[in-house]
Structure 1
Amino acid sequence: MSYRPHAQAKSLRLLDTHAGGDVSRIVLDGIADLPGDTVRARMEYLRDDADGLRRLLLEEPYGIPEMSVDLIVPATSPQAVAGYIIMEVMGYPIYSGSNTICTATAVLEAGLVEKREGWQRFILEAPAGLVQIDALVKDDVVEAITCEGLPSYIDTYRASIHVPDIGDVTYSVAYSGGFYALVDATELGFKLVKEEERQLADCAHRIVEAIQAERGFSHYTLGDVGPLPFLHFMGPVHQIADDFYRSRSATYVHPGVICRSTTGTGTSARLALMNHEGRIQTGDKLETVSLRETGFIGEFTGTHQAGEHQVVDNTITGKSYVLADSSIIVNPEDPMVKDWSFYHILESSDDDAS
């Protein structure tokens, strides 16, 4: 006996994945074509006219705030195999390393890109632009994804701010797909272990609120991208080999939420800081290790000058695992769905058409 949904219900096909512990819910099917001549424009349409889809998939009863959502859309560039729109509890980031690793894995596992043994290369289109992907497949399993990190730079170096109930905090600010406050965990008494997760989230929230109240930040081409949203706790950097470093890390993204992974953009921000301090050379790698002992590897691939900023080029490498291949039913009679702004973009199923 199979389930027969309500006559007006719609369904979405999902591939749930995780990279470093961060769950990314990949929406493969069930959404109609969105207006917009770029993936960025389609993202803005969702944000302004159909934000209920993000809320549906990240709030009860369908999801939780710690998850992310990546909606597969047709690419607008002929170079790209697919586009993707990133949705998180704080909104619509234009780029994310962990989400890109998960999306690249999903397009391979779902057959949108044919898997080939060994290394293969393709391009995805994010709201931030084109992203080169290198995928390693062994015995038909996606073992690693290397993706381009956004060009990253240091906006502010070792500023100080007084935070109520914490004291004076020294921080730097990097842009790596969003603005990050970078703080030394040791100076705040943290060892960056899982037992500290709640205290880390509370501490980060207070620091971010204090910085937001004091100042804003502007990107050299994007301009005002809103208040600083993220904070990255940095553990001591240990040199493992001539060209390889490792550091414990934790990334705050939203009140109460520390990412399960170290985040790709957080790792890119660390590379920018290490370059600013003269602690890393082209070809060097940094592995950031999370509270859950998972890691991403960032590689410093070079620099270029953009106005007054020395911008770091980098890649991020990680592995994504498939958790579930499923569909969800969206029922218009469900009182738990609080925002129906998205319902018009859901595709009708064959049953609906009949």
Structure 2
Amino acid sequence: MSNELTLQLIDTHAGGDVSRIVVGGIDPLPGTTVRQQMEYLRDDADGLRKLLLNEPYGIPEMSVDLIVPATDPRAETGYIIMEVMGYPIYSGSNTICTATAVLESGIVPKQEGRQRFMLESPAGLVQIEALVENGVVEAITCEGLPSYIDTYRASIHVPTVGEVTYSIAYSGGFYALVDATELGFSLIREEERRLSDCAHAIVEAIQAEKGFSHYTLGDVGPLPFLHFMGPVEQVSDHFYRSRSTTYVHQDVICRSTTGTGTSARLALMHYEGRLKKGDKLETVSLRETGFIGEFTNLHQEGPHQVVENTITGKSYVLARSDIVINCEDSLVECLGLHHILSSRHSGAD
């Protein structure tokens, strides 16, 4: 059996966050839904995530999206999201990147103008609207997950930081939302390291004090994310802008503002009476990139007012490549890979 294996990738970025889209080289995964296939990867085949996010192939700041066949006939294809913290069921930036990659690769044929289709994520079906101009994918609008406020303006003492006021939103994961100005930040690139250290301390303190439960999903694990919020500026009728940045893991600040972070902001601004149906918020990152969230509808789930929303952004293709994996390389860990890599690599006839 050859020890050399290959994967086909399309590298993309949205707002600066790089997503590696795996379009070939992986065998079909067990599971009757994309969610079940994600759980199989998480529990039995985590080697792919580790391989592509660690040296020598990647760095933890990247994400990986594996294209899989859709299990719902309404979807064109499915995708599984892999990040340094694990397997989120949804991500706005990863969805924008995946939608762009399936169009640019021809998995979904491009149509000039506005084009709508469905993708299947581990969270379920996602409606996509692509704007194609002169054959170029200029923008992707995707549904954000329904978002709500779990906790509003709680306070906690954080060692090395002091008293911190925070809110908790769910928008595909639980987010701590904190006012950047209250913590002394202007949300500029030079603050990136201090933002990461501060966020890590706050998240650890909240994790030690309490957990959070989704109204249908139940316990989805400890609080993973923190979103720093800058002042909100009204740009025009129904359009707002705010500097923002999202922490996702120790030493990892997203280069974009993140789609789920933007959805969380929409939920908070509605909760505070500052946003109405049809209003939009542009979040602007440390690197001056942005996503636009739109508050599209509202419904009630028990005690929670749930904000339905969309996220719009642009993704760029960085590279189309074959990744060569040599299992004899001492830096490469192939355990957890052989049983999902395409059978044409296994030496089978």
Q: TM-score band, normalised by the shorter chain? A: over 0.9
Q: Which of 343, 347, 354 matches 2:338?
A: 343
Query: Is contact 2:90-2:122 (8 Å) kept?
Result: yes
Contact 2:187 2:230 in 1 (8 A): yes
Q: Quick check: 1:246 aligned with 2:205?
A: no
Q: Displacement of 1:338 after TM fit?
A: 3.1
Q: Does 1:223 align with 2:218?
A: yes
Partner of 1:177: helix, strand, or coil?
A: coil
1:8: how far off? Answer: 2.9
Distance 2:282 2:101 in 1: 24
Answer yes or no: is 1:75 the counterpart of 2:46: no
Q: CA deviation at 1:7?
A: 2.9
How far did residue 280 of structure 1 move? 0.6
CA drift of 1:353 comes to: 5.1
Do 1:249 and 1:288's aligned partners in 2 also have CA atoms closer than 8 Å?
Answer: yes
Aligned length: 349
Secondary structure at the aligned position of 1:345 is classed as coil
Cα displacement (A) at 1:339: 5.2
Structure 1, gaps ≥5 residues long: 1-5
State the 4+ residue runs in structure 1 displaced beyond 6 angstroms.
Answer: none
The one-character-per-residue Cα deviations of 1:8-59 (angstroms, maximum 9, x if unpaired) are: 3111000000000000000000000000000000000000000011000000
Distance (Å, rounded) in 1 between the aligned partners of 2:238 and 2:157? 37
Superposition deviation, residue 350 in structure 1: 7.5
Question: Matched residues in 1 for 2:242 and 2:225: separation?
Answer: 18
Question: TM-score if structure 1 supplies the norm length?
Answer: 0.97
For residues 79-114 of structure 1, what are the alpha-carbon distances to aligned partners after superposition, in whole Å with 9 as ceiling and x for unaligned? 000000000000000000000000000000010111
Match of 2:88 among 77, 90, 93: 93
Correspondent of 2:264 among 251, 269, 293: 269
CA distance in 1, matches of 2:223, 2:337: 28
Q: Do the aligned partners of 2:33 and 2:71 also contact (CA within 8 Å) in 1? A: yes
Q: 1:302-340 deviations in whole A, cap 9, x for unaligned?
A: 100011110000000000000000011111212212351
CA distance in 1, matches of 2:59, 2:334: 16
Q: What's the CA shift string for 1:166-218, capped at 9, x where partnerless?
A: 11000000000000000000000000000000000000000000000000000
Structure 2 residue aligned with 1:45: 40
| Paired AA for residue 136 in structure 1 | L
Q: 2:279 aligns with which of 270, 284, 297?
A: 284
Q: 1:113 aligned to 2:108?
A: yes
Q: Which residue of 2 aligns with 1:3?
A: none
- 1:89 aligns to what SS in structure 2? coil
After superposition, the CA RMSD in angstroms is 1.1
Which position in structure 2 is the counterpart of 1:208? 203
Counterpart CA distance in 1 for 2:155 and 2:334 is: 41
Once residues 226 and 77 of structure 1 are traced to their aligned partners in structure 2, the CA distance between those partners, rounded to angstroms, is 27
The aligned counterpart of 1:293 is 288
Residue 24 of structure 2 aligns to which amino acid in structure 1? D
- Which residue of 21, 25, 28 corresponds with 1:33? 28
Deviations 1:241-277 (A, max 9, x none): 0110000000000000100000000000000000000
- Residue 174 in structure 1 maps to residue 169 in structure 2: yes
Aligned to 2:102, the other structure's residue is in SS state: helix
Contact 1:49–1:342 at 8 Å: present in 2 too? no
